Structure formats: C-alpha cells, structure tokens
Amino acid sequence: MSARGTSAPVVGGIWAQSPDGVIGVDGGIPWHLPEDLKFFARTTIGHPVVMGRRTWESFPERFRPLPGRANIVITSRPESIPADGERVWAVDSYDAALRLAVKLAAHPGHVTGADNDGGSVVPAPTEPVREVWVIGGPGVWREAAEHAELPLTRVLVTTVDLDVAGDTRAPALDGTWTRHEVRDWERSAKGTRFRIDEYVR
C-alpha cells in the first residue's frame, strides 16, 4: 500500500458502548437505540465498511449486507462468507481489507441496495469517497489503530447510559486522542439516555 497522500481516505472507527465500555453480549448488542442506528447509517452509507466475521454475523440476516456500503469482512475462512464482489467481499487480514477498501473508495459507483427498512434504493456515490469506516470488533479496531500507513485518525463513540453486563468491550482510547462533543446527553424515544463524541488524533 502506498503511503498516506492527499487522495487517501480517512480511516475512522465507530461504535456504541456503555459508560464502562461494554459493546456486546452473546454476539449481540445489549440495547436498542434507534437514534444511534440512524446516526450509524448516516455516517457510513456511501463508504466502505470493514468488519470481522463476528460483527458480520451479529447483524440479523435481513440486514446483511449493510445497504449502500461495500461490506468487507475479515475472516480466516473467506469461503464461509457469501461474497459477491458487488456488495460483499471476504479477505483474510486487516491489511488486505484496508487495501481493498482504499481501492473501492477510489472507484465508487457500484454499491447500492435497499435501505434497512427494505424500502428505497440507496444510490451509490459517483465521486471518490473520503472515508473508510472500521465497524468492529475490538480486535479489528486495535489493528486499525496500530496500522503503520493508514491508522485510525477519527473515532465516533455513542455512550449509552445503561449498566449492562457484557462479554465484549470497546478498545480504550489513550491520551493521544482528543474528544469533541457531537451530541450532549439526550433521551431517546425508548427512554434511554445517550451521547455521541468524536475522538481525533
């Protein structure tokens, strides 16, 4: 992969977590927050998304692949993923996923799909996109943060104000990251408080 240049996309991470860092339990998300799902969709649609196999499998089948995005899945068994070279790709390493994501970001116009309600078609971008989003899980985020040439430089974190037990935790962000508030604490239609912060470095 060539070194970072003006044409290289920004690599970002995005996740939701409890105040103490829980992001999942038993392969699923321990809350339902429609506002965060909409924020996630608005942020990532039109951009390649990179994920591990467990994250791919955590989505209900009717939501796979995520529409309007190139879905790139990292797995030791690429043949186990229904890759079609149009909406879904399977690779065996993060480095391969990033190379592919950069290539797809530079040559958009091929990824469309119905929205998550099965309704209108999400148009594919026609101009090179500026972002690649790493959407999970923790091991993939850590690899992305430590990548030598195109590391994560932006992270969007939704904090859900719930005390939940879980078996999967978000990676810790150290002092090299600077926090900026995106949305202060507010209450969702479901009654749960949440906030959204951006971290950059």
What element of type H or E holds 15? strand 10-17
Q: Is residue 126 part of a domain?
A: yes
What tokens were used for 40? 């996630």
**From first to last of its 201 residues, what are the pLDDT tens digits of the chain?**
544 444 789 999 999 999 999 999 998 899 999 999 999 999 999 999 999 999 999 998 998 999 999 999 999 999 999 999 999 999 999 999 999 999 998 876 555 444 444 433 444 445 566 899 999 999 999 999 999 999 999 999 999 999 999 899 999 999 999 999 999 999 999 899 999 999 999
Q: Is residue 159 part of a domain?
A: yes
Q: How many domains does the chain have?
A: 1
pTM value? 0.87
What is the distance, to the nearest Å, from the Cα of residue 138 to the centroid of all Cα atoms in its chain? 11
Query: Domain limits at 194?
Result: 10-200
CATH label of the domain that carries residue 123: 3.40.430.10
Decide if 2 is inside a domain.
no
In a domain, 4, yes or no: no
Per the domain annotation, does 5 fall within a domain? Answer: no
Q: Is residue 146 part of a domain?
A: yes
